Amino acid sequence: MTIQHEDTSARWFIYTSIAFFLVTILVGLTMAVKFVYPDFLGGIPALGFGRIRVIHTNGVLFGWLLAANMGLAYYVVPRLAGTKLLSEKLGLITLAIWTFIILAAVVTFASGDTQAREYLELNWWLDVLVTIAWVLFAINIFGTIAKRKHQQMYVSLWYVMGTVFWTAILWIVGNLPVYSGVNDANLNWWFGHNAVGLIFTPMGVAMAYYFIQKATGNPLYSHKLSIIGFWTIAFLYIWNGAHHIIFGPIPTWLQTVAILFSVSLLIPVWTVITNFFGTLRGKWAQGNYVVKFLLAGTVFYLLTCFQGPMHSLRSVNQIVSKTDWIVGHAHMAVFGAFSFFAIAGIYYALPNILKRPVFSDKLGEWHFWLSFVGFLGFAVSLWIGGFIQGLQWMDHTISFLDTVKAMAPYYVVRMFSGILMVGAQLIFAYNVYKTVRSSTTEVQPALA
Amino acid sequence: MKFEAKAVLLVVGVAAFMFLGTYFTMVVPLTDETLYTPTKDAKAYTELELKGKQIYQREGCWYCHTQQVRNLLEETYRYGMGEEETFKRFGVRALIQAPPSQPGEYVYDKPHLLGTRRVGPDLARVGGKYDNTWQLNHLRDPRSTSPGSIMPAYTWLFDQRGQPTQEAIALVAYLQKLGTNIKWREEGVEQVKKLQAKNLTPGEPRTLAAKEEQP
């Protein structure tokens, strides 16, 4: 266990992802302000709501979350394999391409250059670059695993390997511009749902499996459960895309299949959650902010994955679909669960990479509590408002405009909660920056 | 089990599961001809309408407006024609439901713009609901036609004197085309008139399309 990991790729991927995190959630906050003041930054085409929304969604998903998870994979995989990363240079080339893609995406989206399919908006030449970057990432991950020293395949490795495969297939097939109309919508949601289910979920779960164990010092609760969770995710997720178009112009049987499989998702989720809680046992109270992020992330993962199957039920879908409720739900998955896991991973990995402690534990605590409270304000206001609006839509004598006006107070709460969420991440970035630039004498962190 | 065996199992198993789900939910629907056969009255977009669709995509209109009347009773009323509208335009007092969206209406949409979120109302049946002047005024200053609306003003689609550019005209042409792949307004009114001619009170007038569509 005396391998000297260089971690250059891991480090720089993490720094870049945090920078994109800040920028793209600021864009998110701008959108939240526009809900309250529709003329805010008006008259500028590049800052129109429809143009910055895509910068926010793609930026947060690919610029922050996926990039952060790639950085953490460069950290986790060599340690689980007991060997150095195949090539730090290849990792840095991957980062250069990735950064170029995100910057180019911001420029093209702001200029209105979009393929207009949700989460697949990138222009085709950027799609090609993403594919190339992903292949380079795959080479580095599989190459590192191939020259492993450890024979045990820890569950995080299962998930990272699975994600490399799923992402490649989803990305290539999802981007095929061959269908039109309803079939195109079906393909779009096949991708859109599985981008969450088979890219961000397995990556987030991989990181949580690794960092919960490390940060608590507890052994994995159950290896068997982790394997059951993996295979049920692999089997069940891919059938769910159509639950985004329930009551829509697609065949009823397709909707019903999606509903059945959506409800079945409770199996893998509760399996994984049981394992997380089992591994976190005894560490709830004395945990620092790293454990808090992992614990809160686990709770939000449980809740968001309880909501999901319930939303797919026709009686619930009728009310909540297309409302702001879903926006709260989506943010619970991407921010509350998977971003929290990635943040915890960064707080744990960075001191090990830099061989010095985090600049300020106090700021870490502030980061957690502001993120947590900000997110709850964001989500709960949208859940209440969205549910009421959904009920109002069911009465056609209430004009649509009146249902929009009824949302006003919830949008105000959401905006202020957004300020907390952004403020929290500013603290995060500052804390990481000071950790990186600090001249603290080198100390070997206790947990390596 | 050895590491190599596990890795092979992982790749093969994951690929097989992915193929299975994709085959049934993606490939099988491709063979369903109702999903790619245009409706009786469906027409391909004109050049102007297509340009308008591109502007609709460019400005991300579809992030806040869906284009699907869901197969729910309340939506057929909400997106249908109210009594005032039918009286003003057709001289008939009746409530005419909008038919739920059908796959055949979307055949010429590439990419599809079904949407996922309704910050503003659904637009699948908006064609013919308002006149062009209303649509242009609404795009230039949404709150002038719809007080309380939170839609942004698309001032860059208008010149300095407030006159619509070609882009605004194309966008409105596209909006007016939406929902016209089924002649539900005309057919609905015609049916009501027929009933009235026979001196029958239309109890709950429905369009032909709406009747067909109930599963």
> Each residue of B20-74: pLDDT tens digit?
999 999 999 999 999 999 999 999 999 999 999 999 999 999 999 999 999 999 9
Q: Which residue has the tokens 């491709």?
A: B30
Domain region containing A257: 8-437
Chain B CB contacts of A151 below 8 Å: 2-3
Q: Which residue has the tokens 């993996």?
A: A230
Does a structural domain hold residue A114? yes
CB nearest A186 (choices: B6, B29, B150)? B29
Q: Do B112 and A117 touch (CB under 8 A)?
A: yes
Cα separation, B195 vs B184, in Å, equals 16
Does a structural domain hold residue A418? yes
CB nearest A322 (choices: B106, B118, B156)? B118
Determine contact: A445 vs chain B, CB below 8 A.
no
Cα separation, A401 vs B119, in Å, equals 10
Does a structural domain hold residue A185? yes
> Each residue of A88-146: pLDDT tens digit?
999 999 999 999 999 999 999 999 999 999 999 999 999 999 999 999 999 999 999 99
Determine contact: A3 vs chain B, CB below 8 A.
no
- For A435, the token pair is 């950790």
Cα separation, B154 vs B143, in Å, equals 12
Q: Quick one: closest CA in B to A164, which residue?
A: B11
Q: Between the CA atoms of B208, B209, B214 and B215, what dihedral angle is there, to the nearest 10 degrees?
A: 120
- Residue whose C-alpha is closest to residue A102's, from A13, A187, A37: A13
Does a structural domain hold residue A282? yes
Does a structural domain hold residue A319? yes
Q: Do B103 and A249 touch (CB under 8 A)?
A: yes
Chain B: closest CA distance from residue A159 (Å): 10
**What's the Cα-to-Cα distance from B186 to each of A216, A321, B125, B180, rounded to whole Å?**
68, 30, 13, 10
B87 vs A272, which has greater pLDDT? A272
CB nearest A251 (choices: B32, B57, B78)? B32
Q: Quick one: closest CA in A to B66, which residue?
A: A322
Chain B CB contacts of A245 below 8 Å: 68, 114
Q: Taking each helix axis as running N to C, give the angle between helix A8-36 and helix A408-437, from 0 to 180 degrees, rounded to the nearest 10.
A: 160
Cα separation, A297 vs A367, in Å, equals 14
Compute the 3-state secondary structure of chain A and give helix, strand, coil in percent, each to the nearest 5: 80, 0, 20
> Each residue of A295-334: pLDDT tens digit?
999 999 999 999 999 999 999 999 999 999 999 999 999 9
CB nearest A188 (choices: B108, B112, B150)? B112
Specify the number of domains making up chain A: 1
Ordered alpha helix ranges (H), A62-123 = 67-81, 88-110
Coil, helix or strand at residue B81: strand
Residue B210: pLDDT band with limits 50, 70, 90? very low
Contact of A15 with A92, CB cutoff 8 Å? no
CB nearest B111 (choices: A49, A116, A396)? A116
- Which amino acid is present at B41? D
- For A110, the token pair is 């702001």
Does a structural domain hold residue A1? no
- For A222, the token pair is 């159950």
Q: Do B78 and A323 touch (CB under 8 A)?
A: no
Chain B CB contacts of A173 below 8 Å: 22
Determine contact: A50 vs chain B, CB below 8 A.
yes
Contacts of residue A421, defined as CB under 8 A and 6 or more positions apart, other chains included, come to A25, A29, A335, A370, A371, A374, A375, A378
Tell me how far the alpha carbon of residue A286 is from its chain's centroid. 27
* Amino acid A443: pLDDT: 53
Cα separation, A32 vs A53, in Å, equals 10
Q: Which one of B77, B117, B158 makes the best mutation probe of the A interface by having the most chain A beta carbons within 10 Å?
A: B117
Determine contact: A173 vs chain B, CB below 8 A.
yes
Chain A CB contacts of B10 below 8 Å: 158, 161-162
Chain A CB contacts of B14 below 8 Å: 162, 165-166, 234
Chain B: closest CA distance from residue A133 (Å): 21
Chain B CB contacts of A234 below 8 Å: 13-14, 17-18
Q: Do A50 and B107 touch (CB under 8 A)?
A: no
- For A402, the token pair is 């009146």
Residue B200: pLDDT band with limits 50, 70, 90? low
* Amino acid A234: pLDDT: 96
Does a structural domain hold residue A444? no
- For B5, the token pair is 């065996």
Cα separation, A432 vs A426, in Å, equals 10
Contacts of residue A322, defined as CB under 8 A and 6 or more positions apart, other chains included, come to B66, B116, B117, B118
pLDDT < 70 regions, chain A: 1, 439-448
- For A200, the token pair is 């961000």
* Amino acid A397: pLDDT: 92
Buried b (16+ CB within 10 A) or exposed e, A26-59: ebbbbbbbbbeebeeebeebebbbbbbbbbbbbb
Q: Quick one: closest CA in B to A154, which residue?
A: B3
Contacts 24+ apart (CB under 8 A), B31-37: B32/A251, B34/A251, B34/B103, B34/B104, B35/A181, B35/A182, B35/A183, B35/A250, B35/A251, B35/B103, B36/A180, B36/A181, B36/A183, B36/B103, B36/B107, B37/B104, B37/B107
Coil, helix or strand at residue B164: strand
Q: Do B29 and A239 touch (CB under 8 A)?
A: no
Cα separation, A421 vs A371, in Å, equals 5
Cα separation, B165 vs B159, in Å, equals 6
* Other Cβ atoms within 10 Å of B2 Cβ, number: 9
Q: Do A42 and B152 touch (CB under 8 A)?
A: yes
Secondary structure (DSSP) of A283-329 = -TTT--HHHHHHHHHHHHHHHHHHHHHHHHSHHHHHHHTTSHHHHHH
Q: Do A248 and B70 touch (CB under 8 A)?
A: yes
- For A177, the token pair is 């511009």
CATH number at residue A41: 1.20.210.10
Per-residue DSSP letter, A14: H
Contact of B116 with A247, CB cutoff 8 Å? no
* Other Cβ atoms within 10 Å of A107 Cβ, number: 11
Furthest C-alpha separation in chain B: 83
Chain A CB contacts of B118 below 8 Å: 322-323, 393
Determine contact: A148 vs chain B, CB below 8 A.
yes
Does a structural domain hold residue A448? no
Chain B CB contacts of A235 below 8 Å: 17, 20-21
**What's the Cα-to-Cα distance from B140 to each of B49, B67, B175, rounded to whole Å?**
19, 22, 15
